[in-house]
Amino acid sequence: MLTVQNLTCARGGVPVLADVSFAVEAGRTLILRGPNGIGKTTLLRTLAGLQPAIGGEVTFPEDEGAYASHADGIKTALTVTENLSFWADVHGAPLPDGIFETFDLADLRDRLGGTLSAGQKRRLGLARLGVIGRKVLFLDEPTVSLDGFSVKLFADWLQNAHLAAGGIAVIATHIDLGLDAPELDLTPFKAADDAGGGSDEAFL
């Protein structure tokens, strides 16, 4: 179970979203909606504990969270197999059966990460989620660069593997993933305007 109570998050010291509350049960997904700049990335990073909240509380099972950003986070000098094996080793887990097939990477196992197309890199980045075994996923535009076939591959993995095993996902996306999932429009949680306009580290 993921619970979020009265969460207020900020960029550059300026509140972006205020008093966000929701809960997501095991086996369920929540889709975050809202226009560009509303604060989806900021909220996901705060939920994952990568930046401090200004106020409020986030609870989920300890060491079970994982955040995946716009960036693929792959190692360009390693092959596809080596990339996934690296993450499996970090998390002390074996590579799941069929992981290459699940993300349509079987024919690319020996290719260097740096030589993959944008969509192939994204599939590899998403396959990493299937390797690390974390229960609570915070995903920022996970299907960027993916064609329709690959979007379905990802949605199928999410539904049939991650959620079916009791996982949770909070996903910021502008497209329809074809999931039976509630949506939370963040527009009503926009923090009051602050003319200060602070700056902060930029995230990929």
- Residues forming the site for ligand ATP (CB under 6 A): 11-12, 16, 34, 36-42, 198-202
Q: How many residues does the chain have?
A: 204
Phi, psi for 45 (deg, rounded to 5)? -65, -35
Q: Quote the CA–CA distance of 90 and 69 in Å, as a whole number.
A: 19
Neighbouring C-beta atoms of residue 62, cutoff 10 Å: 6
Q: Judged by CB, which is closer to ligand ATP: 102, or 173? A: 173
Q: Which is nearer to ligand ATP, 17 or 163 (CB)?
A: 17
Tell the smallest beta-carbon distance from residue 70 to ligand ATP (Å): 8
Name the phi and psi angles at 70, rounded to 5. -55, -35
Identity of the residue, 16 or 168, whose beta carbon is nearer to ligand ATP in the bound complex: 16
DSSP 104: T
Smallest distance, ligand ATP to C-beta of residue 103, A = 24
Backbone angles phi, psi at 158, to 5 degrees: -60, -50
Residue 77 or residue 195: which is nearer to ligand ATP going by CB?
195
Residue 41 or residue 120: which is nearer to ligand ATP going by CB?
41
To ligand ATP, the closest distance from the beta carbon of 126 in angstroms equals 18
Q: Could you tell me the smallest distance in angstroms from the CB atom of residue 54 to ligand ATP?
A: 13
Shortest Cβ 34–ligand ATP spacing (Å): 6
Kindly list the strands in the beta sheet with 2-11, ordered across the sheet, starting from the edge strand earlier in the chain: 14-24, 2-11, 55-59
